[in-house]
Chain A
Amino acid sequence: MNVVANGALARARGANRRGSTSAVALEGADIPVAILGFLKPKTPAMAVQRAMLLLLVVAVIGLAIANPVFRSPANLLNIIQQASMVGVIACGMQLMIISGGFDLSVGATAAAAGCLAAYVSLQMGVPVGIVAGLVLGVAIGSVNGSIISKIGVNPFVATFGTQAVITGVMFAMTNARPIAPLPEAWRELGFYNIGGLTTSSMVFLATIFAMYLLLRFTLFGQHIYAVGSNKIASRRSGVRVDPVIIAVYAVGGLTAAIAGILLTSIAGIGSPQAGTTWALLSIAAVVIGGTPLSGGAGGISSAVIGIFALTVLNNAMTLYSISAFWQPAFMGAAVLIAVGYEASRRRRKA
């Protein structure tokens, strides 16, 4: 039996499969072997992630050497802040994509949650407003998850539909006008910071950590991978597939609501127009970070790498006065390269 003999090696390589080398230390396996695993990725998707991470690291080091403004602590904190709101959503999107789906309604959900939080805060104060916004996000996510799992509508159609419904209802109720002025407590929340790390930056970092733990160590996380990989096999093995999918979308809706509420706190208004690009940006981040849309694979590291790649790109373009109009083109190219690279490696392997 070489199972036992190769145990340590296999454990290190296995722990690396979700693309996160830091997980290995926690699994207690050989670090050098883990690095070997990183250099020789096991799946095409992991190869994409490795390439993107190297690219990001090289870009950050290059920019830091070339540009004193870039490497200033204020700018680095600024990058985290800029990444934060879409970043929180990308963390939720990561779960949905691992489960084999995605959610086009996150932008609309964010706007609706931000507006509801703003509206409720006028009467009942900011804390109650925030809770209301979060509850709305979870509710919308649960509806998405139920439509997808119980009725069997595919995620594209289901979330495209809910996105339209949410936007329509929200516009009708607000006349598409922002909710303002808001209680001063919103701005205090939005501009609060610890050593330059803003509220939304801290929430973003906390979300990354929470999702990492969820995916890596919990039963729910394990079942998200299983359902995304093979729904029928999961059901036959006794995984309660529908509740898993509903919970995944509920978490997705929650992250959308968090982002929308953060935006309200920073903007100081509840804006029905917010978040229109967030769904596609967050999906792009996850894909650029090396998670295949086919489900069953990937890790929170994808969302993190992807969102920082997009944000650093934006930041560099601003520093070098390149027109922001180029940004979608670069993002699109990055998505195509990531998907194309993965597909070609997959073909070569088959």
Chain B
Amino acid sequence: MLQAPSHKSAKVVRLTPLLSTSGISKNYDGVHALQDANFHIAPGEIVAIMGDNGAGKSTFVKILSGAHPASAGSVEVDGLVTSFKSPNDARRAGIETVYQDLSLAEDLDVLSNLFLGREEFHVRFGGLSILNRRKMAARAADLLGEIGVNVPGVHDLVSGLSGGQRQGVAIARAAGWGSRLIIMDEPTAALGLQETAHVHDIIRGLRDRGVAVLLVSHNMKQVLELSDRVYVFRRGRIVCNLTTNKTGADEIIGFITGARD
């Protein structure tokens, strides 16, 4: 089992999870957006989060990505309790987020977006550091190629790209830094069929490289097709943790709506 490369079986090897949470809660001015969330994800695992609108999915994801602090509970990375005070803290721990709005600077080129906040320099001198665009361009082209993102060129403006290409750039930016967990909030909500299929390929490619992927999705077909496990959120609680190939759409929908408990 240990060396089994086929992904569904590899998951059975639950050594230390890459990341786990226990008892995570979040209150927004008295609103219990999230209560007692216990969750774990291992390297090379694709875990889906499903749930109705307002179930607390984005709240949970924002806590993992360091965008919001939790009101209670703890996050462990590699078995060590950590606390993220900013997206930079999470990033340093190897956790990257592809936001639902993609968070790209549209007036800038692909290259600048990929390297935003982690530029390469000829000379380092604070704000006057001299950018090494040539080095960044070479690395950007490699990175996009590796992940399988097709853009006409790394110097093209993001505003001129298609929805799928933008999504690709956003994923490449998250994937390109030796990241270990990539969180994706609705990565294909705005995409057509072909572009969605391409993003699925990218996600599988990441998984095969040992990256853990946390996928927030409303798309049942996508979740069944891609994920190893599914957590269902309902009214701020995690109501189940299902193994995808031992469940089906009916059971998941039952948990989402509350027909099951």
Is the CB–CB distance between B103 and A230 below 8 Å? Answer: yes
Partner of B141, one of A4, A218, A226, A238: A4
Judged by a CB distance under 8 angstroms, whether A101 is at the interface is no
Residues of chain A from 26 to 43 with CB closer than 8 A to chain B in the complex? 27-28, 42-43
Is A239 in contact with chain B by the CB < 8 A criterion?
A: yes
Whether A230 and B106, one on each chain, are in contact in the complex, defined by CB atoms closer than 8 angstroms, is yes
A283 interface residue per 8 A CB criterion: no
B116 touches A239 (CB 8 A): yes
Tell me which residues across on chain B come within 8 A of A2, comparing CB atoms. Answer: 150, 152-153
Is A82 engaged at the interface, CB distance under 8 Å to the other chain?
no
Contacts of A238 in B (CB 8 A): 87-88, 91, 116-118
Please determine whether B116 and A11 come into contact, CB atoms closer than 8 angstroms. no
Q: B137 near A219 (CB under 8 angstroms)?
A: no
Indicate if the CB atoms of A297 and B107 lie closer than 8 Å. Answer: yes
Q: Report Cα–Cα, A15/B137, bound state, in Å.
A: 12
Q: Which residues of A contact B135 (CB under 8 A)?
A: none
Q: A2-B150, A296-B108 are in contact. Are A219 and B155 (CB under 8 A)?
A: no
A13 at the interface (CB under 8 A from B): yes
Contact assessment for A222 and B131 in the assembled complex, using a CB-CB cutoff below 8 Å: yes
Supposing A10-B152, A239-B117 touch, asked if A1 and B103 sit within 8 A by C-beta, the answer is: no
Bound together, the chains give a CA A6 to CA B154 distance in angstroms of 9
Contacts A226-B108, A228-B107, A236-B99 given: A218-B127 contact, CB under 8 Å? yes
User: In the complex, A219 Cα to B121 Cα: how many Å?
Assistant: 8
Contact residues in A for B67 (Cβ distance below 8 Å)? 236
> Of A10, A43, A219, A236, which one neighbours B154 at CB under 8 angstroms?
A10
Q: A4-B141, A236-B103, A238-B91 are contacts. A10–B127 as well, Cβ < 8 Å?
A: no
Please give the distance in Å from A239's CB to the nearest CB on chain B. Answer: 5
Chain B residues whose CB sits within 8 angstroms of the CB of A27 once the complex forms: 133
Contact residues, A289-321 vs B (CB, 8 A): 295-297
Q: Is the CB of B103 within 8 A of A42?
A: no
| CB-contact partner of B129 in A7, A218, A233, under 8 A | A218
Contacting residue for A234 out of B105, B106, B109, B141, CB 8 A: B105
Picked from B112, B121, B128, B151, the residue with its CB within 8 Å of the CB of A226 is B112
Answer yes or no: B156 CB below 8 A from chain A CBs: yes
B91 CB contacts on chain A under 8 angstroms: 238
**Residue from A2, A42, A218 with most neighbouring chain B CB atoms (10 Å):** A218
Q: Mark B109-130, 1 if CB is under 8 A from A, else 0.
A: 1011000111101000011111
Which of A42, A217, A233, A238 counts the most chain B CB atoms within 10 A?
A: A233
> Which residue from chain A places its CB closest to the CB of B119 in the assembled complex?
A219
A17, A27, A236 interface centre (most CB from chain B within 10 Å): A236
Residues B157 and A43 in contact, CB atoms below 8 Å apart: yes
**Contact: B155 with A11, CB < 8 Å?**
yes
Q: Is the CB of B105 within 8 A of A296?
A: yes
Q: Which residues of chain B come closer than 8 Å to A4, judged between CB atoms? A: 141, 145
Partner of B116, one of A1, A3, A9, A226: A226
Number of interface residues, chain A, beta carbon within 8 A: 41
A192 at the interface (CB under 8 A from B): no
Smallest CB-CB separation from A8: which chain B residue?
B153
CA distance A239 to B74 in the complex (A): 27
A229 at the interface (CB under 8 A from B): yes
Given contacts A27-B133, A229-B105, contact A10 B153 (CB under 8 A): yes
- The minimal Cβ–Cβ distance linking B161 to chain A, given in whole angstroms, is 12
Contacting pair A3 B129 (CB below 8 A): no
A247 to B99, CA, bound (A): 28
Q: Determine the chain B residues whose CB is within 8 A of the CB of A42 once the complex forms.
A: 157, 160
What is the chain B residue whose CB lies nearest that of A239?
A: B117
B151 touching A219, Cβ below 8 Å: no
Complex Cα–Cα for A238 and B88 (A)? 6
- Contact partner of A219 (CB less than 8 A), chosen from B103, B127, B159, is B127
Query: A11 to B157, Cβ gap below 8 A?
Result: no
Please give, as numbers and ranges, the residues of chain B lying within 8 Å of A7 by CB-CB distance: 137, 141, 153-154
Given A4-B145, A219-B127, A222-B112, decide whether A10 and B107 contact each other with a Cβ distance below 8 A. no
Q: Are A218 and B105 closer than 8 Å at their CB atoms?
A: no
Interchain CB contact under 8 A, A225 and B88:
no
Of the residues B111, B119, B144, contact of A14 by C-beta under 8 Å: B111
Q: Which of A3, A236, A244 contacts B151 (CB 8 A)?
A: A3
- A212 at the A/B interface (Cβ < 8 Å)? no
Whole-angstrom distance between the alpha carbons of A232 and B126 in the complex? 22
A171 proximal to B (CB < 8 A): no
What chain B residues lie within 8 Å of A17 (beta carbons)?
109, 155, 157
Are B105 and A233 touching (Cβ within 8 A)? yes
Q: Is the CB of B131 within 8 A of A217?
A: yes
6 residue pairs bridging A and B, Cβ less than 8 Å apart? A1-B144, A11-B153, A218-B128, A225-B108, A238-B87, A238-B91
Given contacts A4-B145, A239-B117, 8 further A-B contacts (CB under 8 A): A1-B141, A7-B153, A13-B155, A13-B156, A218-B128, A225-B108, A230-B106, A237-B103
Which 4 A-B pairs give the minimum distances between C-beta atoms?
A: A14-B155, A10-B153, A296-B107, A238-B117
